[in-house]
Amino acid sequence: MSQSDTLFDYKHIWHPYSSMINPHPCYTVISAKGVYLKLKNGKNIIDGMSSWWSAIHGYNHPVLNKALKKQIRKMSHVMFGGITHPAAIALCRQLISLTPKKLDCVFLSDSGSVSIEVAIKMLIQYWQSLGQTRKTFLTIRNGYHGDTFAAISVSDPNNSFHKIYHNILLKNLFADAPVSSFHDNWNNSDIISFTKIIEKNSYKIAGVILEPIVQGVGGMRFYHPTYLKKIKILCEYYSIPLIFDEIATGFGRTGKIFAFEHADVIPDILCLGKSITGGTITLAATLTSRYIANTISQSETNCFMHGPTYMGNPLACAVANANIKILKTNIWKKQVYNIEKQLSTSLLPLIDHPYVIDVRVLGAIGVVECSRSVNMLLIQKFFVEHGVWIRPFKKLIYIIPPYIISTQALNKLTNVIIDALNHDFLFL
């Protein structure tokens, strides 16, 4: 990795949410193992982000690597149209056995955002099959469901890219986000906004979509399980299908295998992604009920109109399979429980810090909400210099470490956060 490579990257390569004029510098990672990312200068830093919720068992995991190698010897890819293969069959069996009984039809796709597009298209087609044109979705503010068009259209109108694409997006309905937090008492006024909107518009709503329990990019908010229970009752009353986006929360992150288990509520469509392959290759899945799948299949076209080239990619399926097998040992439960305990002990006292307005912990997620936005450039440099990889946004410093993280490494992550709060220049 030469100086000219770094310069080439800076000049020519677009990174997520970045500008091509004067972009923030990127840190070059040359390898990763366990919870460590190795930088090109040879320094190992502790990863607090699990590569955006995905690398739950850590990097370079021998079981995941073995699954990939075994599969690559057979085939890396084969088209999924008119062809099936053992890795996809085994994965879909696993997904069906891991999720509620009702969800027994699986559509595989490339990424979280695409799995949301798929869910939305499924419901548009579902209503068409029932002889109705419905294209309006109801969701809640502060949501985030990805960066493709349908996904943006159900993400928070102020917090996403609605303004830029205003005239192109589907016109959807947004209820106020619940205020009762996960650990607080339930306040019934939280459901009023949603109730009013669904009552008034039920005739045209194709589906309700939400991130259960944790609203991620929209503020790292943990809301009350009763909210989900109330929403389920309203959706059932009006016969409106409910989509849960568990792309970030799925596979144990909140202390339950799926966040909806905190509320004991089952969706009609479930979107999974990110950690489905343990952070190795992109893959997502949209699961739905036999009833919805059959209704769609009785439409004019007799089929569901979606089919990405890399759908059911064998490498991704094989490694997802291995990832779920690790999860099925249930080791993650103890790991996530321990992380939750340790994060609570070390982060919750920060509530008394003058720059902190809230601290929250749920499962393997720790959030420090500050009173001022971070200076991204400086705080990123500070974290790396102090040996950790934490990528805050706006006023939120949060960590979602790999489940395998040791007590010492987690201690280091939280200590560096505490240290950062004592440096005024890291905040705007």
Ligand X SMILES: Cc1ncc(COP(=O)(O)O)c(C=O)c1O
216 binds ligand X (CB under 6 A): yes
Q: Is 17 a catalytic residue?
A: yes
Q: Is 147 a catalytic residue?
A: no
273 binds ligand X (CB under 6 A): yes
Cβ proximity to ligand X: between 58 and 250 the closer is: 250
Q: How far is the CB of 111 from ligand X (least distance, A)?
A: 4
111 binds ligand X (CB under 6 A): yes
Structure tokens given for 198: 């669904």
What is the C-alpha to C-alpha distance for residues 106 and 197, in angstroms, rounded to an integer? 31
Q: Residues marked as binding for pyridoxal 5'-phosphate?
A: 112-113, 245, 308-309
211 binds ligand X (CB under 6 A): yes
Binding segment toward ligand X, per CB under 6 A, in 173-181, 193-201, 243-251, 419-427: 243-251
Cβ proximity to ligand X: between 217 and 404 the closer is: 217
Instruction: Please state whether beta strands 269-272 and 242-245 pair in parallel, antiparallel, or not at all (unpaired).
Output: parallel
The amino acid present at 367, given as its one-letter code, is V
99 binds ligand X (CB under 6 A): no
Cβ burial of 40 (10 Å; 0-12, 13-18, 19+) is middle
Q: How far is the CB of 276 from ligand X (least distance, A)?
A: 10
> Which x/- pattern over 128-167 shows residues binding ligand X (rule: CB under 6 A)?
----------------xxx---------------------
Residue with tokens 């989900």: 228
What is the C-alpha to C-alpha distance for residues 365 and 219, in angstroms, rounded to an integer? 13
Q: Which of 140, 191, 210, 217 binds ligand X (CB under 6 A)?
A: 217
Residues in contact with 351: Cβ distance below 8 Å, sequence separation at least 6, in sequence order:
358, 359
What is the C-alpha to C-alpha distance for residues 40 and 1, in angstroms, rounded to an integer? 7
User: How many residues lie near ligand X (CB under 6 A)?
Assistant: 15
| Residue 177 contacts residue 223 (beta carbons within 8 Å) | yes
Longest dimension (CA), the chain: 63
CB-closest chain residue to ligand X: 112
Q: Residue 272 in 3-state DSSP?
A: strand
340 binds ligand X (CB under 6 A): no
Cβ proximity to ligand X: between 272 and 416 the closer is: 272
- Give the C-alpha distances (Å, rounded to integers) separating 410 from 61, 90, 346, 387: 19, 34, 10, 12
Q: How far is the CB of 184 from ligand X (least distance, A)?
A: 22
Cβ proximity to ligand X: between 224 and 274 the closer is: 274
What is the C-alpha to C-alpha distance for residues 317 and 311, in angstroms, rounded to an integer? 10
Catalytic residue among 17, 101, 171, 424: 17
Q: How far is the CB of 391 from ligand X (least distance, A)?
A: 12
Cβ proximity to ligand X: between 259 and 426 the closer is: 259
Binding segment toward ligand X, per CB under 6 A, in 112-120, 199-207, 334-342, 408-416: 112-120
Cβ burial of 194 (10 Å; 0-12, 13-18, 19+) is buried
Cβ proximity to ligand X: between 298 and 309 the closer is: 309
> Which x/- pattern over 43-82 shows residues binding ligand X (rule: CB under 6 A)?
---------x------------------------------
Catalytic residue among 230, 232, 256, 274: 274
Q: How far is the CB of 227 from ligand X (least distance, A)?
A: 16
Cβ proximity to ligand X: between 116 and 399 the closer is: 116
The amino acid present at 50, given as its one-letter code, is S
Cβ burial of 1 (10 Å; 0-12, 13-18, 19+) is exposed
245 binds ligand X (CB under 6 A): yes
What is the C-alpha to C-alpha distance for residues 99 and 152, in angstroms, rounded to an integer? 26
What is the C-alpha to C-alpha distance for residues 358 and 352, in angstroms, rounded to an integer? 9
Q: Is 274 a catalytic residue?
A: yes
Residue with tokens 């849960």: 244
Q: Residue 238 in 3-state DSSP?
A: coil
Q: How far is the CB of 115 from ligand X (least distance, A)?
A: 8
Indicate which residues carry an active-site annotation: 17, 144, 245, 274
The residues binding ligand X (CB under 6 A) are: 52, 111-113, 116, 144-146, 211, 216-217, 245, 247-248, 273
